[in-house]
């Protein structure tokens, strides 16, 4: 992605460290977090310095490089960071396999990351064909370059459609409580794509008023029957899209498809801490006695999905 004229990835390997654009600080401050150890990488994933399923997987691949000589222990530590994103486990398995075969860990991790990016580009090319000139597209959470190292899942087709000259308008759900919609807005601003951030609960209003032509979201884990987990609030957007006859697409790489589970009921949903809701910018907005529930993801049944945009094809 281009930031003020300079090409960036969400993170990169440099001098035996991993440099991350600190996503907790965006869109206000552009800061780099340097991970020197496996613990630093685990912290970056857990605290959401890096986030989004493919990016979490790629960060873990570099984590396996920093943990060289302690492959099993490192894999164990990294796999405990975030439970829902399948890419995390896919990447750790891949790295363990390559290291056990005697491959140089940094070569394996670099291959993994380049592959993640190539897949994003191909997915973008496939998805771009679905986007017609003048379309107004809703997306939820951030499924852009920040979430995938570069290009994005849901944002890749949008990026490419814009670059081919199609006129677009994007509605970016704010996505409480972490407000990943602001990250989407930041990426779209860099790319010059017209958009508005809307409160999550405004999406139905725009759908019913005929202002949304298509929904594209990413996924954290997709079961064999097509049920998928994605950022909390995705399920209700999918139900509303069906109710309003709006096509609803899921853009995801093969590394998000979990072939070990039959349906979405088997997906473990991450519960995050109270403070994500109870505080805004460090300021407490609710008294101590208020009990909070904070699931980070929900599961959308496959019957609501028009198609899955993969790097190989669009699966209806
Ligand atoms: O909690 P997050 O910000 O890691 O959640 C991210 C999402 O839900 C994305 O939509 C998903 O990972 C797919 S993005 C490439």
For residues 63 and 76, the answer to whether their CB atoms sit within 8 Å is no
Q: What is the pLDDT of residue 87?
A: 98
* Distance from Cα 56 to the centre of ligand 1, integer Å: 9
| Residues identified as active-site | 220
Using the atom order of ligand 1, give the atom closest to the CA of residue 256: 13
Which residues of the chain fall below pLDDT 70? none
What's the rounded Cα separation, in Å, for the pair 262 and 255? 16
Q: Write down the pLDDT at residue 72.
A: 96
- State if residue 54 touches ligand 1 by the CB under 6 angstroms criterion: yes
Q: Are 137 and 212 in contact (CB under 8 A)?
A: yes
Ligand 1 atom at shortest distance from the alpha carbon of 296: 1
Residue 97: the pLDDT is: 97
Give residue 145's pLDDT: 97
Q: What pTM did the predictor assign?
A: 0.96
* Beta-carbon contacts of residue 236 (< 8 Å; ≥ 6 apart): 203, 204
Q: Which domains does the chain have, with CATH numbers?
A: 2-119 (1.20.120.420), 123-315 (3.40.50.10470)
pLDDT of residue 140: 98
Structure confidence at residue 281 (pLDDT):
87
pLDDT score at 2: 86
Q: pLDDT tens digits for 110-160?
A: 999 999 999 999 999 999 999 999 999 999 999 999 999 999 999 999 999
Nearest ligand 1 atom to alpha carbon 53: 12
How many whole angstroms from 55 Cα to the centroid of ligand 1? Answer: 9
| pLDDT of 65 | 98
How far does the centroid of ligand 1 lie from the alpha carbon of residue 101, in Å? 31
Atom 8 of ligand 1, residue of closest alpha carbon: 231
In the beta sheet, which residues pair with residue 113? Answer: none
Between the CA of residue 131 and those of 137, 156, 193, 238, 306, what are the distances in Å? 9, 12, 14, 18, 14
């Amino acid at each position: 992605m281009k930031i003020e004229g300079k090409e960036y990835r969400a993170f990169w390997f440099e001098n035996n460290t991993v440099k991350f654009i600190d996503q907790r600080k965006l869109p206000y401050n552009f800061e780099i977090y340097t991970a020197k150890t496996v613990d630093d990488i685990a912290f970056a994933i857990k605290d959401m310095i890096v986030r989004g399923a493919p990016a979490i997987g790629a960060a873990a691949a570099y984590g396996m490089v920093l943990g060289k000589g302690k492959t099993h222990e490192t894999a164990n530590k990294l796999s405990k960071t975030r439970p829902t994103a399948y890419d995390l486990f896919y990447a750790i398995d891949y790295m363990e396999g390559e290291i056990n075969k005697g491959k140089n860990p940094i070569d394996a991790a670099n291959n993994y990351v380049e592959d993640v990016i190539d897949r994003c580009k191909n997915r973008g090319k496939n998805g771009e064909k679905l986007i017609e000139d003048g379309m107004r597209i809703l997306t939820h959470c951030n499924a852009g370059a920040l979430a995938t190292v570069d290009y994005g899942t849901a944002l890749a087709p949008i990026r490419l459609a814009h670059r081919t000259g199609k006129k677009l308008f994007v509605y970016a759900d704010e996505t409480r409580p972490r407000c990943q919609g602001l990250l989407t807005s930041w990426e779209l601003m860099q790319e010059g794509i017209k958009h508005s951030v809307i409160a999550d609960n405004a999406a139905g209003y725009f759908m019913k008023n005929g202002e949304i032509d298509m929904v594209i979201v990413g996924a954290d884990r997709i079961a064999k029957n097509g049920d998928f987990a994605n950022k909390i609030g995705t399920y209700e957007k999918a139900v509303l899209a069906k109710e309003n006859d709006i096509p609803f697409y899921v853009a995801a790489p093969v590394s998000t498809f979990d072939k070990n589970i039959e349906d979405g009921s088997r997906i473990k949903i991450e519960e995050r801490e109270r403070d994500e809701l109870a505080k805004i910018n460090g300021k407490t907005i609710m008294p101590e006695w208020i009990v909070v529930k904070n699931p980070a993801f929900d599961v959308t049944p496959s019957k609501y999905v028009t198609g899955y945009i993969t790097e190989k094809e669009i699966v209806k």
